[in-house]
Structure 1
Amino acid sequence: MTVKPIIMHPDPLLEQTCERVEIFDSKLKRLVRDMFETMYEADGVGLAGPQIGVLKQIAVVDADEEIGPIVLINPEIYDQNGEELGVEGCLSIPSLYGEVVRSQSIKVKAFDVKGRQFDLKASGFVARAIQHEIDHLQGILFTSKVVRYIKEEELEVEG
């Protein structure tokens, strides 16, 4: 497994729309393993293809111990409920945090590394992480949705 360099804002790659994955092969599996390794090394809970320079609809999330690692290939949110304000950051924009309104619960359809379609229901923090990563695949950064920026000192007090 290889830890990939994370693309940093304001690199224009981060604002590109990603292409659908068409080929599910060993190269894709290796890429997904590298994405998890990169995310864990950076202490993140999610990572999307463009953050490592891959303009494909691939994202990985690991935001809850009980649920475990999630691979999302060509993900689409097809149902969402409620709204929740929460703090977000981004591995591509270190030391910047802000409050963002997201759907409280979502239903997503996506593919796994073997090309099998699945449905996933998520709520709370996992839903937030998934929505953040899917935004990356559309070239949308969380900074375009921030209601209020938060200083790092405030984070330590809040959480």
Structure 2
Amino acid sequence: MACASWLHLHSSSLTRVILPILHHPTALLHRFNIFTSPARFTSSVNQTNPLLTPVHAQAKRGFSSKDHKISSAEDLQFEPPLKIVEYPDPILRKRNKRIDTFDENLKKLVDEMFDVMYKTDGIGLSAPQVGINVQLMVFNPVGERGEGQEIVLVNPRVAKYSKKMVLFNEGCLSFPRIYADVQRQTAEVPQTLSERPESVKIDAQDISGARFTIDLSELPARVFQHEFDHLQGILFFDRMTDEVLDGIRKQLEELEKKYENKTGLPSPEKVETRKRKKAGVGFGK
């Protein structure tokens, strides 16, 4: 798969989105965490008004706040600079706690996450990917510092997702230089589909703790779904069919060997014994 996506986007300035509003800015994207097929998008990021960006289907029951423990001050401690955690580090599979303290430390963590995201050519990043197991993600669909909208979602939940599905190809900063189709299977449709919902409605909190609801579609929705999977301990190869997985099996095994050489410990998981994980909570299974 090619490791660039030709999305013609433009933007004149950067906006750190506390309550995301208005329309998704556009610019040329390259070398990022989510890879897509060539296409032109006019995505919307709308606050509290589902009429502006219709989401067509009621989601199955999303996860409850009771499903996640509350983080402590220690859980949010970090030493900059942050580094990307790579597969098969067990941090990527740990349960991620809800954030209940909205202070300067959280704002510093968000700033550091954006910093490492841009330095590694990403457009989205979740807290467990930098070794912090809390319910936090950041993204900027433009992927360039100083351009676009920087979106911060704390304790996000999926409220709705669309019936319409879109095809795409994904990569992940925790799986360097590995790109493949994310697959979905249902009992009703036995064949595999390389797709995710086109749009999602999300309930979340901002870095000050204020609750809000936003609708995301097209590329921002894809980035959110990828990072939301990370917050559930789900990695993108969990969604792949065995046939697709076979195409990257050697690369995954190399990452497992790299982990063993670096830590002196056996790999906590092996692709050769992998069993398909359940889909992310709140999405079709």
Equivalenced residue count is 151
From 80, 85, 94, the counterpart of 2:161: 80
% identity of equivalent residues? 41
Pairs within 5 Å for 1:1-80: 2-64=80-142, 68-80=149-161
2:229 to 135, 144, 147: 135
CA distance in 2, matches of 1:87, 1:39: 19
Assess if the C-alpha contact under 8 Å between 1:48 and 1:137 holds in 2.
yes
Shift of 1:67: 5.7
Alpha-carbon separation, structure 1, partners of 2:166 and 2:224: 14
- The answer to whether the 8 A contact 1:21-1:73 is kept is yes
Gaps of at least 5 residues in structure 2 are 1-79, 183-194, 249-285
Distance in 2 between residues matched to 1:108 and 1:7, nearest whole Å: 26
Amino acid at match of 1:143: F
Who is 1:115 aligned against? 209
Letter of the 1:74 partner, please give it.
N
- The CA distance in 1 between the partners of 2:142 and 2:228, in whole Å, is 17
Residues 39, 45 of structure 1: 8 Å contact kept: yes
Aligned residue number for residue 187 of structure 2: none
User: Which structure would you say has the larger Rg?
Assistant: 2
Runs (4 or more) in structure 1 with deviation over 2 Å come to: 64-67, 146-151
Aligned mates of 2:102, 2:128 — CA distance in 1: 18
The root-mean-square deviation of aligned C-alpha atoms, in Å, is: 1.9
TM-score, length-normalised on structure 2?
A: 0.50
Give the TM-score, by structure 1 length. 0.88
More strand by percentage: 1
1:97 aligns with 2:179: yes
CA distance in 1, matches of 2:161, 2:224: 12
- 1:28 and 1:113 in contact (8 A); partners too: yes
Q: CA deviation at 1:75?
A: 0.3
